[in-house]
Structure 1
Amino acid sequence: MDIRQLKTFIAIAEHGTFAKAADAVGLTPSAVSQQIQALEAEVRIELFDRSTRPVTLNSQGLQMLEAAQVLVRSADDIVDAISGRAISGTFTIGSVRSSALSLLPKAIIELKNDFPDLKIKLHVANSDELLNDVVTGRLDSAMVAEYSGVPSTLRWSPFINEPLFVIAPKGTKPRSATELLSELPYVKFISRFRLANIIETEVARSGIITNVIAEIDTIMAVVACVAHGLGASIAPWSALKEAPGEVVAVPFGDPQIHRQIGLIERRTSPRAAVIDRLHQHLVSFSGEYGMAR
């Protein structure tokens, strides 16, 4: 098995036919067929359902496709890293569904300017899935909040230490954080992500009695509800950055509570230079709360 065979195999999956794949990889259709026959002989299993026209990947072929994409990307990354050539190929970045996700598109645009030959893909999922995908190489890096379950094979580098604020509808009479949460209906952020636990732990520690009017599972929806007058809530700086002037905000906690978000990567990642540049851009867009490596 060699990388050329795997690239040809991927091209067939992407283009749908052996003939179109041949054009894509610069081979004749007969050469493509020979490469696939050699690949199937080596793995000792058929990868295509040849009873259909055009042929389609069977279940084993679909499994092989995922593995082939990881191997080809890793091989290209290694060549880029050791040859000093312009960085190209595909860079895959994952992210949790966080308010800090709003920072990522800006950083990706800057990263694309840094590496114009690099194709960038973004995948959004939960922390456990992202960690597993970085470990196995399906993702080059992922953006996650501070997380106790990071394996020793990964490195987590925070780029922001953002404060949390109690928020209320614009025009609300100035009051303390405790008064806002006690006197106004409470829009509660419910999630299995750590942010929800941080918020509720501090509310309980402070002895604040809330009157829950809504339970919502995304921070941006929480902010929108508050902005439209439903009640008060608690949100991180990154969520308020996208809605300037729509709510009043006072620091949450004494001292004010913060949460960290960072990038995870394999400790031996061949994409270290790209990830480092992405981290720099995220720090820049985090303003005064940015954390350099």
Structure 2
Amino acid sequence: MDTRQLRTLLAIVQHNSFSRAAETVHVTPSAVSQQVRALEAELGVTIFERATRPPALTAQGAQVVEMARDMLRREEEARTVLSGSGLEGVLVIGSVRTSALRVLPRAISRMRLAFPRLKVNLRLANSATLIEDVSAGRLDAAVVAENLAIRPQIRWRPFLREPLWLIAPAAMAGATASSILADQPYLRFCAQVPLASLIDAELSRMGAAPQIIAELDSISAIMSCVTEGMGVSVVPDVALSEPGAEALVRLPFGTPQIRRQIGLVDRVPSNRGVIIDQFHDLLATSSGAYGIRREPS
């Protein structure tokens, strides 16, 4: 398979135009059409539905596009390894949305400053999708919470261990954690959020049965609702950087205070190991007092 055909295909998808793709890859429009037909013939699929204008990707075509992206990324990785320099090229990182609040952007910025020849691409998704994409090689690494079903061919290394807080509107000042949980409407994380099971387990241990009035899937949504006086909740320390958090009552959640861990998953072995180790170090540093340095290899 000619990688020039794959680059042409991605240019068509990016620009949604055969003619603009031709300008990007510096060939004629007819050459672009020939490359697409040759690729379709080689794979035995129809990539574009030509009855529409501009031509639209077929379902098989969308799969070919993902394959092309993966193959070209792997080619770039191989060139990086063979050149003898591991701190250049492209690093494709995935993350759950809540982890992207503060630590991740800071670490990526520091990574770019430290290694200007390295490009970092970020994709956001849920934890299960991220684990699958790391395992399949579509991501180099991903930021996810602990207590997930980690597959044998990948590893999870924590870089952040932060405390959880019970938060409530300012009017609750002076109340105990047990009375707040017993008397106030409770905003819960959705079940698919890994943090939810950690919080639920501690609530059960405490014998608390709060009055759940809503289930939300993001820290920002919960913080907004508590700030507006809708109810109370339990959040990780990172949430206290959200607007309005300084006015809320916050009490340690659990005895001793419960902490959650966030870590980096990657494949083992990986030809991006040096880069990923550096990124883990920056994530730990960017986590401040709650950062966890990796064990030496």
Q: TM-score range by the shorter chain?
A: 0.7 to 0.9
Q: Which residue of 1 aligns with 2:280?
A: 279
Q: TM-score, normalised by structure 2?
A: 0.84
Q: Which letter does structure 2 place at the counterpart of 1:186?
A: Y
Determine if contact 1:100/1:238 at 8 Å carries over to the other structure. no
Deviation at 1:151, TM superposition (A): 0.9
Q: Are residues 51 and 215 of structure 1, via their aligned partners in 2, closer, same or farther at CA, if it must alter by over 3 Å?
A: closer
Determine if contact 2:173/2:249 at 8 Å carries over to the other structure. no
After superposition, the C-alpha distances for 1:227-268 in whole angstroms (9 at most, x for unaligned) are 333343211111113355222222111111111111111223
User: Tell me, which stretches of 5 or more residues in structure 2 are unaligned?
Assistant: none
Deviation at 1:29, TM superposition (A): 4.9
Q: Which residue of 1 aligns with 2:155?
A: 155
The answer to which of 75-84 and 208-217 deviates more is 208-217
Total equivalences in the alignment: 292
Determine if contact 2:161/2:291 at 8 Å carries over to the other structure. yes
Determine if contact 1:47/1:61 at 8 Å carries over to the other structure. yes
Q: Which letter does structure 2 place at the counterpart of 1:286?
A: S
Work out the CA distance in 1 between the residues paired with 2:147 and 2:218: 19
Determine if contact 1:184/1:232 at 8 Å carries over to the other structure. yes
After superposition, the C-alpha distances for 1:116-136 in whole angstroms (9 at most, x for unaligned) are 454443322222111112222
Match of 1:292, SS?
A: coil
Question: Superposition RMSD on alpha carbons, in Å?
Answer: 2.8
Match of 1:225, SS?
A: helix
Determine if contact 2:99/2:143 at 8 Å carries over to the other structure. no
Work out the CA distance in 2 between the residues paired with 1:211 and 1:54: 53
Q: How does 1:221-260 map to 2 (within 5 A)?
A: 221-243=221-243, 244-260=245-261
The answer to which of 12-21 and 125-134 deviates more is 12-21
Q: Which residue of 1 aligns with 2:112?
A: 112
Match of 1:235, SS?
A: strand
Q: Which residue of 2 aligns with 1:138?
A: 138
Q: Which residue of 2 aligns with 1:92?
A: 92
Determine if contact 2:45/2:61 at 8 Å carries over to the other structure. no
Q: Which residue of 1 aligns with 2:186?
A: 186
Q: Which residue of 2 aligns with 1:23?
A: 23
Work out the CA distance in 1 between the residues paired with 2:37 and 2:192: 48
After superposition, the C-alpha distances for 1:118-167 in whole angstroms (9 at most, x for unaligned) are 44433222221111122222222221111331111111111111111122
| Alignment of 1:198 onto 2:198 | yes
Q: Are residues 148 and 2 of structure 1, via their aligned partners in 2, closer, same or farther at CA, if it must alter by over 3 Å?
A: same
User: Tell me, which stretches of 5 or more residues in structure 1 are unaligned?
Assistant: none
The answer to which of 171-180 and 249-258 deviates more is 171-180
Q: Which residue of 1 aligns with 2:165?
A: 165
The answer to which of 276-285 and 250-259 deviates more is 276-285
Q: Which letter does structure 2 place at the counterpart of 1:272?
A: G
Work out the CA distance in 2 between the residues paired with 1:210 and 1:204: 10
Deviation at 1:111, TM superposition (A): 2.5
After superposition, the C-alpha distances for 1:162-189 in whole angstroms (9 at most, x for unaligned) are 1111222236433442233234443333
| Alignment of 1:76 onto 2:76 | yes
Deviation at 1:216, TM superposition (A): 3.4
Q: Which residue of 2 aligns with 1:262?
A: 263
Deviation at 1:76, TM superposition (A): 0.4
Match of 1:139, SS?
A: coil
After superposition, the C-alpha distances for 1:20-75 in whole angstroms (9 at most, x for unaligned) are 33432344556545544543343244434445565554443322111111110111
Determine if contact 1:158/1:291 at 8 Å carries over to the other structure. yes
Match of 2:246, SS?
A: coil
Q: TM-score, normalised by structure 1?
A: 0.85
Work out the CA distance in 1 between the residues paired with 2:55 and 2:190: 47
After superposition, the C-alpha distances for 1:204-247 in whole angstroms (9 at most, x for unaligned) are 21123434454434332222222333343211111113355222
State, as a whole percentage, how many aligned pairs show the same letter.
Answer: 45
Match of 1:261, SS?
A: strand
Q: Are residues 48 and 165 of structure 1, via their aligned partners in 2, closer, same or farther at CA, if it must alter by over 3 Å?
A: closer
Deviation at 1:285, TM superposition (A): 2.3
Q: Are residues 219 and 20 of structure 1, via their aligned partners in 2, closer, same or farther at CA, if it must alter by over 3 Å?
A: closer
The answer to which of 160-169 and 80-89 deviates more is 80-89
Q: Which letter does structure 2 place at the counterpart of 1:66?
A: E
The answer to which of 132-141 and 54-63 deviates more is 54-63
Q: Are residues 81 and 39 of structure 1, via their aligned partners in 2, closer, same or farther at CA, if it must alter by over 3 Å?
A: same
